C-alpha cells in the first residue's frame, strides 16, 4: 500500500439507473485538525456521511466525498471512513471520540494503551471495537502500522451520571 496516496473508486448511476463508476481517483494524504504538530500519523479521509439513513443521491456526493478533517466532531448521525498510517516509533495523542470506531489493522502492529492502564498489541488482521474510550496508539515497531477506520457517531458515554465526552490531550 502506498503511504502517500490511496485509490478511491466511487460508484453511482447513469440516467437510466444502471450502475457506473462515477469516479476513480487517488486521494492525497492529510492530517487531522486535532493532530497539528502533535503526531507523525498520516490520514486519508475517504468518505463521510452526515445523516441516517444515508442520502445516496448525486447532490449529497460532493459533501460526502469531502469527508471529515476531525475525529472529535461528528454530525450526530453520520459516519467517517479513513485510512491511518502511524510511523515507526511514534504515537497518537491521548483521545476519546463520541463515536463507535471499527479499527481494522491492515499492516504492521502497534500498541493500544487505555487510560485505565490496559495495553494490548494490535497486529495485521486484528479488529478493534473502540467504544468511546480514552486511548493512545503507539507504534513501537520498526515498520509503519496501517489501519482502516470506520467511525459511527454515537451518544457520549455516561458513567455514574458523568458524561465522558470527547478529549484530545497532548502527550503527557
Q: Where are the domains of the chain?
A: 33-169
* pTM strictly above 0.75: yes
With a CB cutoff of 8 Å and minimum separation 6, the contacts of 116 are none
Q: In Å, what is the CA distance from 1 to each residue of 7, 114, 147?
A: 10, 28, 11
DSSP-derived secondary structure for 64-126? HHH--S-SS---SS-EEEEEEEE-TT-BPPEEE-SEEEEEEEEESEEEEEETTS-EEEEETT-
CATH architecture of 33-169: Sandwich (2.60)
172 residues of the chain, pLDDT tens digit each: 455 779 999 999 999 999 999 999 998 887 665 555 555 678 888 888 888 888 888 888 888 877 665 555 556 788 889 899 998 998 888 888 888 999 999 999 999 999 999 999 999 999 999 998 999 999 999 999 999 999 998 888 888 998 887 776 544 4
User: How many other C-beta atoms can be found within 10 angstroms of the C-beta atom of residue 80?
Assistant: 24
The Cα–Cα gap between 101 and 150 comes to 6
With a CB cutoff of 8 Å and minimum separation 6, the contacts of 74 are 68, 80, 97, 98, 99, 151, 153
pLDDT at 141: 96
Amino acid at each position: 500500500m502506498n503511504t502517500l496516496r490511496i485509490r478511491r473508486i466511487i460508484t453511482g448511476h447513469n440516467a437510466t439507473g444502471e450502475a457506473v463508476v462515477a469516479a476513480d481517483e487517488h486521494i492525497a494524504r492529510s492530517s487531522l485538525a486535532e493532530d497539528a504538530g502533535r503526531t507523525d500519523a498520516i490520514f486519508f479521509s475517504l468518505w463521510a456521511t452526515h445523516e441516517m439513513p444515508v442520502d445516496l443521491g448525486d447532490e449529497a456526493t460532493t459533501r460526502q466525498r469531502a469527508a471529515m478533517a476531525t475525529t472529535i466532531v461528528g454530525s450526530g448521525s453520520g459516519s467517517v471512513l479513513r485510512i491511518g498510517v502511524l510511523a515507526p516509533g511514534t504515537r497518537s495523542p491521548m483521545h476519546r471520540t463520541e463515536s463507535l470506531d471499527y479499527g481494522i489493522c491492515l499492516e504492521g502492529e502497534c500498541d493500544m494503551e487505555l487510560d485505565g492502564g490496559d495495553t494490548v498489541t494490535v497486529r495485521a488482521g486484528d479488529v478493534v471495537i473502540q467504544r468511546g474510550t480514552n486511548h493512545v496508539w503507539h507504534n513501537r515497531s520498526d515498520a509503519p502500522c496501517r489501519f482502516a477506520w470506520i467511525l459511527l457517531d454515537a451518544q457520549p458515554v455516561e458513567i455514574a451520571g458523568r458524561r465522558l465526552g470527547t478529549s484530545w490531550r497532548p502527550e503527557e
